[in-house]
Amino acid sequence: MRVVTDRNEMARLCREALRPLGLVPTMGALHGGHLALVAQARRENATLAATIFVNPAQFGPHEDLAGYPRDLERDLALLRSQGVDLVYVPPVEEVYPPGFDTWVEVGRLAARLEGARRPGHFRGVATVVTKLLALVRPDRAYFGQKDAQQTLVVRQLVRDLDIGVVVVVVPTVRDPDGLALSSRNAYLTTEQRRAAPVVYRALCRAEQLWRRGEREGERLRREVRLALQGERLVEEIDYVSVADAATLEELDRVAGPALVSLAVKLGRPHLIDNITLG
Ligand code: AMP
């Protein structure tokens, strides 16, 4: 496994790599969710590249950039054990050198949900993903369904900017009690961790009602909210959404595929999760 910090060297190694070349972008603090992306990408490509970069551009001024969990040695050992060929770990100045002044802005899709909760977040995501795709030029790039809106934003920018890459979305990996794996779960106290599965339970409540024939968006949203409010450690419900799975427009009635998604503040972190209906 080659660990690369220099972008010219990364570009050269990717140019010379056996095809197909797969890319798994991450912010490190790796867990089983990341490893599911890596495992699938390993099976589907001759060469596998991963990146570890905590992207300052996708953090708001009051978010957890400085405190974001980091453990490079452990991450590299995990990636090595999964058979990754190339890992790009750029310093911030390598990605955003002095004078950097071009941004990728995805429109309507990026304004909703996480985009409304975290202004500028998807501008940072879209910019860094575009840069990584331009540098690595992979045949396939892998993203987790855990960040459903991010997968839609990436698909949109790949389409709009004529980037010839196949975007592969990998199902959410959960702990046995339903909590979606996330680097930010490390912030939870024991008590908060015990309460956190309420997030997935609330989503499952919507699915249960939908299976019984409930199609009214507002009723599904209300039931998810009620389930969340039943847990006193949920300090704040940022949003509960039942939206068109392609456009993220809120639905009055569920007719086709719908994304049920939510964000809540539980202790220090905001937890996000989603499921798809239909
Ligand atoms: P991050 O390091 O949080 O930027 O995540 C890197 C990639 O891993 C993103 O595409 C995430 O959607 C994906 N990911 C994170 N958590 C999970 C999970 N629990 N299941 C599947 N994919 C995940």
d(CA 188, CA 86): 32
| Contact criterion met (CB below 8 Å) for 223 and 205 | yes
d(CA 195, CA 231): 7
Query: Is 34 designated active site?
Result: yes
Tens-binned pLDDT, residue by residue, of the chain (278 aa):
999 999 999 999 999 999 999 999 999 999 999 999 999 999 999 999 999 999 999 999 999 999 999 999 999 999 999 999 999 999 999 999 999 999 999 999 999 999 999 999 999 999 999 999 999 999 999 999 999 999 999 999 999 999 999 999 999 999 999 999 999 999 999 999 999 999 999 999 999 999 999 999 999 999 999 999 999 999 999 999 999 999 999 999 999 999 999 999 999 999 999 999 99
| Contact criterion met (CB below 8 Å) for 16 and 30 | no
Would the CB of 58 count as within 6 Å of ligand 1?
no
Would the CB of 55 count as within 6 Å of ligand 1?
no
| Contact criterion met (CB below 8 Å) for 273 and 199 | yes
CATH 3.30.1300.10 domain position(s) in the chain: 183-273
Query: What architecture is the 183-273 domain classified under in CATH?
Result: 2-Layer Sandwich (3.30)
Dihedral in degrees, nearest 10, Cα atoms 165, 169, 170, 176: 150
Instruction: Spell out the CATH class of 2-170.
Output: alpha beta
| Contact criterion met (CB below 8 Å) for 257 and 278 | yes
Cα 155 to middle of ligand 1, angstroms: 16
CATH 3.40.50.620 domain position(s) in the chain: 2-170
Would the CB of 141 count as within 6 Å of ligand 1?
no
